[in-house]
Amino acid sequence: MIVIEKMRSDEFSVYLRKLVENYAVENVKSGRWEEKSALEKSKREVDSLLTDGLNTENHELLNLKEKDTGKKIGCVWLHIFPGMEKKGFIYDFVIDEAFRGKSYGKESLKALEEYASKLGVEDLSLHVFAHNTVAVALYRKMGYEVTSLNMAKHIGGK
């Protein structure tokens, strides 16, 4: 069983550094960004969303932990849209490498859905890079459906 706890400020600084680095890497892998500017773009995008860091309104930065052991197995960044929309967006969902392939992803998503539901969220959405086939498979297995697709083709240029 998974428990969800709010991230502490000391944990947030470590999380933020990893988040920015990973988002840059994933955008380069996807072909969206060039490596030389990826880290700067990633930091700019994350900073534009988390304008007050850990205390940014309507953003929940959370740790995922095993209930029995208290071990941290991952983290999640959930945005809850203000007002009457009753929608949430998962900006980041990470199961630490040592815990992958052991059903923690499924259990964590279930726990997150319960958590969000208690906050009034009725619909959750997320973005996943197409090259992350393991994550795509997990989300499909958990009932998430494709609502739109971005497509690209490199055509060269002069």
Number of domains in the chain: 1
What pLDDT digit, counting tens, does each position of 109-154 carry? 999 999 999 999 999 999 999 999 999 999 999 999 999 888 877 7
The secondary structure element, H or E, covering residue 126 is strand 123-126
Structure confidence at residue 113 (pLDDT) = 97
Amino acid at 106: K
Q: 155 in a domain, yes or no?
A: no
Per-residue confidence band for 158, with pLDDT thresholds at 50, 70 and 90: low
Other Cβ atoms less than 10 A from the Cβ of 144: the count is 16
Structure confidence at residue 36 (pLDDT) = 97
Q: 55 in a domain, yes or no?
A: yes
Residue 58 CA to residue 78 CA, distance in Å, equals 8
Q: 115 in a domain, yes or no?
A: yes
The secondary structure element, H or E, covering residue 27 is helix 9-30
Per-residue confidence band for 55, with pLDDT thresholds at 50, 70 and 90: very high
Residue 115 CA to residue 126 CA, distance in Å, equals 16
What pLDDT digit, counting tens, does each position of 79-107 carry? 999 887 799 999 999 999 999 999 999 99
Amino acid at 16: L
Structure confidence at residue 149 (pLDDT) = 83
Q: 20 in a domain, yes or no?
A: yes
Q: 3-class SS at 124?
A: strand
Which residue range is the domain that position 64 belongs to?
2-141
User: What is the chain's mean pLDDT, rounded?
Assistant: 94
**pTM recorded for the entire structure:** 0.91
Question: What is the CATH classification number for the domain harbouring 83?
Answer: 3.40.630.30
What pLDDT digit, counting tens, does each position of 4-46 carry? 999 999 999 999 999 999 999 999 999 999 999 999 999 999 9
